Chain A
Amino acid sequence: MNKGYTWRITLILVFIIASFVYLTPTLVSPLPSWWSGLLPKDKISLGLDLQGGTHLVMGVDTQKAVEGSLDLIATDLEDSLNSQNLRFKNIARLGGDKVQLTMYDRSSADAAQALVKKKYPDLEFLPIFDEGGFVNLQLRINEKEAQVRKDRAVAQALETIRNRIDQFGVSEPVIQREGIDNIVVQLPGIKDPKRAIELIGKTARLEFKLVDENVNATTATAGNIPEDAELLYEKRTDPATGAVSETPLVVKKKAIITGDLLTDAQIRIDSQYNQPYVAIDFNSTGARLFDQVTAANVGKRFAIVLDNNVYSAPVIRERISGGSAQISGSFTEKEAADLAIVLRAGSLPAPVNILQNVTVGPSLGADSIRKGLIAGLIGVGLVIVFMGIYYKLAGMVANLGMVLNILFLMGALAALGATLTLPGIAAIVLLVGISVDANVLIFERIREELRLGKTPHAALDAGYDKAFLTIMDSHVTALITAAVLFQFGTGPVKGFAVSLSLGIIINLFTSLLATKVLFDAFLDRVHVKRLSI
C-alpha cells in the first residue's frame, strides 16, 4: 500500500507544478527575461465579451463574384472580336451564369465560337440560335467552374480584409473563413467599431469612367440614356451644415481604368484649401492607359467612381503622364485615410454583407469579469463552508480537491491557449459545485460502510470502490453534452463548453485519485479509530 501512493502523490505534484508553469505567462506580465526556450508562452486570452471588441460574421455575395467575372469575360471578348475585325451587335452577361454574343451572321458566329473556345476552354456552349435576324451565341459557366470562382472570391476577400485590418492597426485580430462563404472577423478592444466595419465592408471598386457629355444629366433617367451609358450620382456633404446634395451624372458604362492597376494610395492635405485628398499611383499598365485616355479626351470630364458613387468628375485639362492622380471629394481626414487604406489593400472581389455584428464595450467587459469573479468567490466560499461543516476534516479534503481542480483547469486552459468567456467563467463556478459532488457520493458511501461496522480503512476503500461507477456514469453523461456544445457552439458558448469538458475530465482525476491519496497517506501514518467525516 505504501508504494501505491508514492506515484500518485508524484503525479499530483507534477500536475501542480505544470499548472503553475503554464499559468505563469497569464499571471506574470511582462515575463522575466530568463523565461524562454521550451517554457510555455501561451496564455489564457479573454473573449470579446470580457475584454470588449467586435465580432463580425460577413457573408460574401459570391454570386456577384461570378457575375463580375462573366462581365469581365464579356468585355474581354468585345476587345478580342474587335481586334479580329469580327462584327457583332452586342456582347453582355445574361442572368447569373451566361454570356451572350449577338452576331450579325452565322459565319462570324462560327468564327467567334472558335475564338472563344481557344480563350475560354472551360466555358460550355449552348446551341447557336437565330432570333430577330441575329445569331445568338450563348456561353455558360458550369456549376463546378462557378464554384471554383466563388471559392476563390471568398479566399481573396479574406486576404483583402486581412490587409485592410493590418493597415488599420488592430492588435491580435482574428480573421477566418467559416463555412462556405462566410468570413468571421474578431477585433478585440477596438475603439471605433463603426469606422472599422465601414472600412472592412467597403467593396472599394474604383473605376475611372468618361462622362458622357452628349446627354443632359439633369433630365436623364435610367430609360432615356444611351445603352453604353449609366446614370450615377455625385454625393457631396456640406462640411458646415452636414446637408447632403446629389448631382446626377451620366457616364460611359465601360471603365477605362480600375483600382487593380493601382500601386499606392496615400492621404495628403491640400496646402491651399487645407482639404484632405488621396494621392494614387498607377502601375505601368495603368499609367500608360491614363496617359492615352487623358491625351485623347482633353476638355472632357473624367469621373472617379467608387462603388457606383461618383467621388469627383474633374475636367481633363491636359494630358497626364507619370501615372499619378488624386481623388478629392468632400471627405474628412479620417474618411480620406480610410479610403487610402481600402485602395491600397485592394477591392473586394464581391460585395460582403454583415450578417452578425456583436460589439461589447470595454466597461461592460470589465464589469462582467468583476461580477464573474465575485460570483465565483462566493460560490467557492459557500461550498467550502458547507463541506467543512457537514463532512468536517473529510470535507476539507474535498475542498482541497476542488481547489486543485480549479488550478488544474486554469493550467489546462492556459496550456491550450484557450479563450475565457463569461459563460466560461460560469462553467468554472458550476464546476466548483459539481466537483464536490463526486466527493459527496464517496463520503456518503463511506458513512454507510462505517455504519455497517467496517474499520475506517475498509470503509474508505469500499466507499471509493462502490461510488466509482456512479461517478463515472455521471461524468460521462455530462461530458457527452459538453462535447456536443463544443462542436456546435460559437464564441461564448464554445468557451463554456471548453471549460466544462476540461473541468469534467480533470474532476474525474481529482475526485477519484487526488483526494483518495490524501486519505490513504493519512490513514497509513496515523492510527485512526474514527474517521472525521
Chain B
Amino acid sequence: MQLLGKTNIDFIGMKKFTFIISGIIALIGIIGIVQIGRGAANMGIDFSGGTSMQLKFAQPLTIQAAREALAKGGVKEVELQEITGGNQLLIKMNKSEIGAGKAADNVQAILTQAFPANPFSVESSTEIGPSIGEKLKKDTLVAVALSMLGIIIYIAWRFDYKFGVAAVAATMHDVLAIIAVFYVLDKEVNLLLITAVLTIAGYSLTDTVVVFDRIRENMHKSLKDPLSVVFNRSINEVLSRTIITSLTTFMAAISLFLFGGEVIHDFAFALVVGVLVATYSSVFVASPIVALWEKSPVESKA
C-alpha cells in the first residue's frame, strides 16, 4: 500500500507564504516566552510556588459553591477547575498568604466544614515553596540551553554550516510553536510541558535529518539543475516517509492524549502539537532556509 504516489509539489515556491505563517507562530512563541519569564503566563505551581489540590467529592459540587465557601473561609485568590468525570475539583493557589505547609490543610478544613453532607477525599495535593520554584526555573533554563547546545554541536558536526543553522532554526521553530499554542490557549506552563518541549526538540530533528540527507544526496547527483528544483524533488521523494514516520509517532501521542488520563493530558497535547509542527517545519522551514542561503551567491554572480 502507498499513501502518496509520485508527487510534484513546489514546496520551496511556497516559502513566502509559509515563512509568514512560521514568523507569526514564532513571534507568538517569543511573546509567550517573555510572558513566562515575567511570570505573566499561566504558570504551574512548580515554577511559581503555591498549592494545588485535586479533591474527589461524594456528590456533585458546583465551582460556584466551592468558591463561595472558600471565600467565606478567607481563601480568595484561588483558581478552581472541574475535572471531567467523578465529581473532581482542581484547586490551585499561587503563593498563599497563609504560609507554606498550611494552605492545603486550611482548604480541607474549610470545605469539610462548609459541606458536611458531601465528604471528599484528597486525590493529590502539591505544595511548593517559592525557593524550589526559583531553583527549578534556573535548572530548566540550564537544561534547555544545554540540550540546544548539544543538538547544535551534533548537527554542526554531521552537516555543514548552512544545514546546521537551518536544522536548529527548525527545531527552535517547533519549540516556539508549542509554547505559542500553550500561551494562546492559556494552558499551564509546568515541568511536564518543558519535558515535552525538550522531547520534541530531540524528535524534531528526525524529520529534518531525513529531508536533509536526501537533499545532500541529490545535490551531489544533479549538479546542473537549479537548486530549487533539487530541493523540491528531494522533498517530494521523501514526503511519504516524512509523513509516515510522523504518523506512527502521532498515533502513540494521540492515544496518550485521548486515553492517558488527566495527569498527562497537557503533556500529551504538547507532544501531539510537537509532532505536527516538527513535520511541518522540516519541509517548510528547514529546507527553504538552506535553499535561500545556497542560492544567493549564485544569483549575485549572475
Contact = CB atoms under 8 A, between A and B. Distances in A.
B100 A379 contact: no
Interface string A192-217: 00100100010000000000000000
A478 interface: yes
B75 interface: no
A355 B129 contact: yes
A480 interface: yes
A476 B205 CA distance: 10
Q: Is the interface of A mostly helix, strand, loop or mixed?
A: helix
A443 B195 CA distance: 31
Q: Which of B131, B154, B198 has the most CB of A within 10 A?
A: B198
Given A429-B255, A470-B210, A485-B143, A440 B241 contact: yes
Nearest to B245: A437
Contacts of A469: 213
A231 interface: no
Contact of B127 (A354, A481, A492): A354
Interface in B153-169: 154-155, 158
Interface in A444-493: 444, 448, 469-470, 473-474, 476-485, 487-489, 492-493
A469 B247 CA distance: 21
A375 B256 contact: yes
B256 A493 contact: no
Contacts of A478: 199, 202-203, 205-206
Contact of A386 (B56, B198, B248, B267): B248
Contacts of B250: 433
A123 interface: no
Contact of A383 (B205, B252, B259): B252
A489 B195 contact: yes
Interface in A94-117: none
B18 interface: no
A378 interface: yes
Contact of A355 (B100, B240, B255, B256): B100
Contacts of B54: 364
Interface string B231-253: 00000011011001101111111
A299 B114 CA distance: 49
A1 B191 CA distance: 50
Contacts of A431: 252
Contacts of B195: 423, 485, 489, 493, 496-497
A460 to B, nearest CB: 17
23 contacts: A49-B263, A356-B128, A360-B124, A361-B123, A363-B123, A367-B261, A375-B268, A376-B255, A387-B248, A422-B263, A426-B264, A430-B271, A433-B248, A433-B251, A433-B253, A444-B241, A477-B206, A477-B209, A479-B202, A480-B151, A484-B198, A487-B143, A488-B139
Given A371-B260, A477-B206, 18 more contacts: A356-B129, A367-B261, A368-B261, A374-B259, A375-B259, A383-B252, A426-B260, A434-B248, A434-B249, A437-B245, A437-B248, A440-B248, A444-B244, A473-B213, A482-B199, A485-B143, A488-B142, A489-B195
